[in-house]
Amino acid sequence: MKKPLPIVLDTDPGVDDFFCLAMLCAFPEEFSLRAVTTIGGNNSTEVTTKNALDILALFGKDAPVYPGADHFTEEEFGEPVVFAHGHNGLADVTLSASKREPEKEKAWDALYQIAKEENGELVVVTVGPQTNLALALLKYPSLKTKIRKIVMMGGTLGTGNISPYAEANVGNDAIASRVIFESGIPVDMIGLDTTRQCKVSLEEFEEMSEKTDPLIREIMRRMITFRKGEAMHDAAAFSTLLDPEIVSWKTGTIHVETETPLKKGRTTICETPQGIHRAAYEPRRERYKEVFGRMLERYPVK
């Protein structure tokens, strides 16, 4: 039998982070969730850490949650992104509070420790600003030899969402993302231009979720309604680990602009067969929908 892929998820929950966690927790035969590390961006790290614990409790997982940085590499966090995630980061839906507390150890130390334990097999999935992973790579230079691959929601080969050029996860801490792309670790970048096209409408969701647990169904319904058609970017990026053909891939070297203020956070790929980076493009929405449906089936009416 295939061994589940060991994963650390670095996240800033976040409505679309919620759906990413739903997907990750739904397939234990595929993924071994070693830890969740948190970062702010959508909200403060205190709030995103609590959200991570509450989401894990909802999906019946007890992976440890390690809090990360409380500011970006060079800047403070901005105000909570209320229009996309609500005041509480979860579309103003209140989840039952987890009985667990966050771990005392910080995200970057936990990342290094887990990577060592996994002997080069660990996949780090980042669906928020990449500050924690950059801090880990700077503090522990040998970490770059211990991570199998980074899968990230972030960047864009098209237009951005915090500027014409930059997507939020990369643009909010472009210096951190540059550390990641220059680390020598293989990266799969699923950018905004691609995730934007992976949508499941409310009508489709209603049809697909008839056999889903009523509480989970209602929470998801409220979140999808809140988003008003905005894609669940983080789940779309994560779904490529379940079906890599949800997208096509360009192979090459990805560059993050950190110097020119107007274009800060812009991601571009120079295509070359020797490259260790891949950038997703041409999403196949129907295939994404199929994975989303399989996820819903994993939370059946009890």
Q: Give the residues lining the site for ligand RIB (CB under 6 A).
A: 12, 14, 16-17, 41-42, 127-128, 153, 161, 167-169, 192, 233-234
CA–CA distance, 57 with 263 (Å, rounded to integer): 40
Which residue bears the tokens 């220059």?
182
Of 256, 214, 233, whose CA–CA distance to 15 is shortest? 233
Is 139:124 a contact under the CB 8 Å cutoff? no
**Smallest separation (angstroms) from ligand RIB to the CB of 235:** 10
CB nearer ligand RIB, residue 188 or residue 234: 234
Name the site residues for Ca ion (rule: CB under 5 A): 12, 14, 17, 127-128, 234
Dihedral angle at the C-alpha atoms of 187, 269, 161, 218, nearest 10 degrees? -40
Looking at the chain, the number of H-run helices and the number of E-run strands are 12, 9
At position 207, the amino acid (one-letter code) is E
CB nearer ligand RIB, residue 54 or residue 234: 234
CB nearer ligand RIB, residue 146 or residue 168: 168
Residue 161 interface partner, choices ligand RIB, Ca ion, none, CB cut-off 5-8 Å depending on type: ligand RIB
Is 176:140 a contact under the CB 8 Å cutoff? no
CB nearer Ca ion, residue 126 or residue 209: 126
**Smallest separation (angstroms) from ligand RIB to the CB of 17:** 5
**Smallest separation (angstroms) from ligand RIB to the CB of 56:** 17
CB nearer ligand RIB, residue 152 or residue 208: 152
* 297 backbone dihedrals φ, ψ, rounded to 5°: -65, -20
Q: How distant, in Å, are the alpha carbons of 75, 129, 188 from that of 154? A: 18, 8, 10
Residue 54 interface partner, choices Ca ion, ligand RIB, none, CB cut-off 5-8 Å depending on type: none
**Smallest separation (angstroms) from ligand RIB to the CB of 272:** 27
**Smallest separation (angstroms) from ligand RIB to the CB of 167:** 5
DSSP state of 144: G
Distance of CA 52 to the CA centre of its chain: 12
**Smallest separation (angstroms) from Ca ion to the CB of 154:** 9
Residue 86 interface partner, choices ligand RIB, Ca ion, none, CB cut-off 5-8 Å depending on type: none
